[in-house]
Structure 1
Amino acid sequence: MKTTLTIATRQSPLALWQANFIKDTLQSLYPNLHISLLEMVTKGDKILDTPLAKIGGKGLFVKELENALYEKQADIAVHSLKDVPMVLPEGLTLGAYCQRHAPTDAFVSNHFERLDDLPVGAVLGTSSLRRECQVAHAYPHLTIKSLRGNVGTRLSKLDNGEYDAIILATSGLQRLGLDERIRHELDEALSLPAVGQGALAIECRADDDEILSLLAPLNHLPTRLCVLAERAMNHALEGGCQVPIAGFATIDGDTLTLRGRVGSVDGKTLLKAEHHLTLSHTADDEQAVHALGVAVAQDLLNQGADKILQEVYGN
């Protein structure tokens, strides 16, 4: 029986909250397990003056943590699932998909109550091409500027007057106890969430059966099915984490619905697709949600998503 467990994590306040949340959850399940954190700085944490899309996307936030797993310095790594590339390195797996927190985007401003209130030319900050294309589509009169750094840094830039408003993930603000900064959550009809947004995933070595069995109680089946559908869609679009792709699945009774979007960064084109699946509540569901994700991707490709994405990658 394992007596110690090491969790690899980034050093940002949000990453540490997430790692400690998993640590506390595991500690309550296994009181005799000694759990420690291995805090690391990733390439994505060091390069803060360049938009993520230009330096390789959000996979830059996980590579050092994955190396710690390979070198057996750590047993697991805790990630925001939306930061995890669609294809994992050989020998690693996602051992648990934890229950999803709020998946929405949050509008944050010191002077305006709602996105609708922003005047012509107002400066809106976001690090996400997905948010940028959807907001630009609905509000072409706004000036959208890149916004990098951890949550605290981004809020400081807003408070210093560099932006009139910014958009952040609702779940990140809530996890850090910053609910009061949220003016309102953006409706999914306006800003469909990112693939995996709001969910935590735990990465580990694929051959470590003991760790996989320890993580099993943290798996939340409805979240797992939803995010597997979302990630299958993104993978079929050959999309990374930092692309103008939105994908969000929900379950209502026996019906899983997956909505996907691909947009040009200027907001002029926004393609949409929506498909449904009746769940069988058997082991076949995982294969079925994967096929659903591929079908939504194909629908978007048939509408011209490949041309939009090739242009983004070209830039």
Structure 2
Amino acid sequence: MEEGPYKYIRDGNGKVSRVIRIGTRKSQLARVQTDSVADKLKELYPDVYLEIVAMSTIGDKILDTALSKIGEKSLFTKELENALEKNEVDLVVHSLKDLPTSLPAGFTIGAVLKRENPHDAVVLHPSNAGKTLDTLPEKSVIGTSSLRRAAQLKKRFPHLEFKDIRGNLNTRLKKLDEKDDFAAIILAAAGLKRMGWENRISMILEPEDCMYAVGQGALAVEVRARDVDILEMVSVLHDPDTVLRCIAERAFLKQLEGGCSVPVAVHTKVTDSQLYLTGAVYSLDGSESLKETMQTSIAADEQSVEKVDERAQRVGVTAAKLPAYSQDAAERLGIELANLLLNKGAKEILTVARQLNDAR
């Protein structure tokens, strides 16, 4: 039954419970990710009734154009956010890397779950079993829809060629296996692991070869900022280290004004209350690049504890139960690293990359 913007259900004993509707993309990976979040919520709140609502997004429908060419900031999120705005769903599960650094008004990321392996993985064509990117023959074609991956790998493996490959995980693996168009494809290790396909990973690309995308490997739960009860409910899913790493990464990308149409890459870690952020920008062919590392303390500073509103959003993330000073330090780190690269000429590299990509 419906009452106002919310949906309720009555059990056999007459007890009425609110139905929490979870929005997701229709792809198999998206459903696996959403089911994992639903399972965690069900475990924490056994009396809550959950309903999953799956839908297709622009990025799922346009499969004959490179992601970087579509020119749409919210490729995999727009339809889901429309449903959230219309109260057709109460929360949405995303891959965090799909979420722009500026969310539409009224929305917030209420949870960032513990990060899976954020690195990229090489999946070789069956005929190349046992090889590596280094040992593949000259002019072997590598499939990737990511400018970030292509720019870094072109520089690192100049003997290889790179070509766009689109589609969900299943589609891309099928294109690799059933045709001879690609010697290998590059995919996020996290997706392969969540699907139970780790055996397909031929090699994990370390940061020296290919740094990852902002937010890669982390799941985000987007909610309406005004729904304090839903925000409170999902907030227990936050993983502190992942939240701080991703706030730094998103602040870095936002300050650079980057997106999927320019090659920007990151690498973060938390060690002994220190947050380390490495960030880089690349030309499309990887010949030009700027890369720097900075760190900051995320430990308590007694003087700053009372100064900040812990309900504040930081690059779209609301994490009220995490120390505000740690979140602020992470956000500052991202901004300062971006400014360092901008002062060294990052804007020029990214502007040219954007223009060349638009002209392709």
The percentage of aligned residue pairs carrying the same residue is: 45
From 345, 348, 353, give the equivalent of 1:304.
Answer: 345
Return the letter of the residue paired with 2:293: E
From 106, 125, 143, give the equivalent of 1:125.
Answer: 143
Q: Give 1:146's aligned residue.
A: 164
Q: Give 2:38's aligned residue.
A: 23
Return the letter of the residue paired with 1:189: E
Pairwise CA RMSD: 1.3
Deviation for aligned residue 1:2: 6.0
Secondary structure (helix, strand or coil) at the match of 1:3 reads strand
Contact 1:59 1:241 in 2 (8 A): no
CA distance in 2, matches of 1:236, 1:273: 15
From 8, 15, 19, give the equivalent of 1:4.
Answer: 19
Contact 1:234 1:240 in 2 (8 A): yes
Secondary structure (helix, strand or coil) at the match of 1:233 reads helix
CA distance in 2, matches of 1:61, 1:105: 20
CA distance in 2, matches of 1:140, 1:298: 30
Contact 1:2 1:210 in 2 (8 A): no
Deviation for aligned residue 1:243: 2.4
Secondary structure (helix, strand or coil) at the match of 2:74 reads helix
Which whole-Å deviations, capped at 9, do the CAs of 1:107-143 have from their partners, x for residues lacking one? 1002143111112100000111110110011111211
Secondary structure (helix, strand or coil) at the match of 1:117 reads coil
Q: Note if 1:14 corresponds to 2:14.
A: no
Secondary structure (helix, strand or coil) at the match of 1:249 reads strand
Which whole-Å deviations, capped at 9, do the CAs of 1:35-86 have from their partners, x for residues lacking one? 1111101111110000011102562110000000000000000000001001
TM-score by length of 2: 0.85
CA distance in 1, matches of 2:209, 2:59: 28
Q: Note if 1:196 corresponds to 2:219.
A: no
Return the letter of the residue paired with 1:232: A
Q: Give 2:120's aligned residue.
A: 105
Q: Give 1:218's aligned residue.
A: 237
Which whole-Å deviations, capped at 9, do the CAs of 1:242-296 have from their partners, x for residues lacking one? 4200022210111110000101111111210100111124421111111110111
My pick for the range that moved more, 54-63 or 289-298, is 54-63
CA distance in 2, matches of 1:158, 1:256: 38
Q: Note if 1:205 corresponds to 2:246.
A: no
Q: Give 1:78's aligned residue.
A: 93
Task: Write out aligned runs for 1:156-305 (5 A).
Answer: 156-159=174-177, 160-281=179-300, 282-305=323-346
- Residues 250/193 of structure 1: CA separation in 2 closer, same or farther (3 Å cut): same
CA distance in 1, matches of 2:344, 2:64: 34
CA distance in 2, matches of 1:173, 1:190: 19
Which whole-Å deviations, capped at 9, do the CAs of 1:142-170 have from their partners, x for residues lacking one? 11001110001101111122100010000
CA distance in 2, matches of 1:161, 1:258: 39
My pick for the range that moved more, 258-267 or 279-288, is 279-288
CA distance in 1, matches of 2:33, 2:188: 14
Deviation for aligned residue 1:13: 0.6
- The structure whose residues are more often helix, as a share, is 1
Gaps of 5+ in 1: none
CA distance in 2, matches of 1:260, 1:152: 30
My pick for the range that moved more, 106-115 or 218-227, is 106-115
Contact 1:125 1:146 in 2 (8 A): yes
Return the letter of the residue paired with 2:219: L
CA distance in 2, matches of 1:241, 1:21: 27
TM-score by length of 1: 0.97
Deviation for aligned residue 1:312: 2.5
Secondary structure (helix, strand or coil) at the match of 2:276 reads strand
Gaps of 5+ in 2: 1-15, 301-322
Q: Number of residue pairs matched?
A: 315
Contact 1:85 1:241 in 2 (8 A): no
Q: Give 1:88's aligned residue.
A: 103
Contact 2:141 2:184 in 1 (8 A): yes
Deviation for aligned residue 1:216: 1.4
- Residues 242/76 of structure 1: CA separation in 2 closer, same or farther (3 Å cut): farther
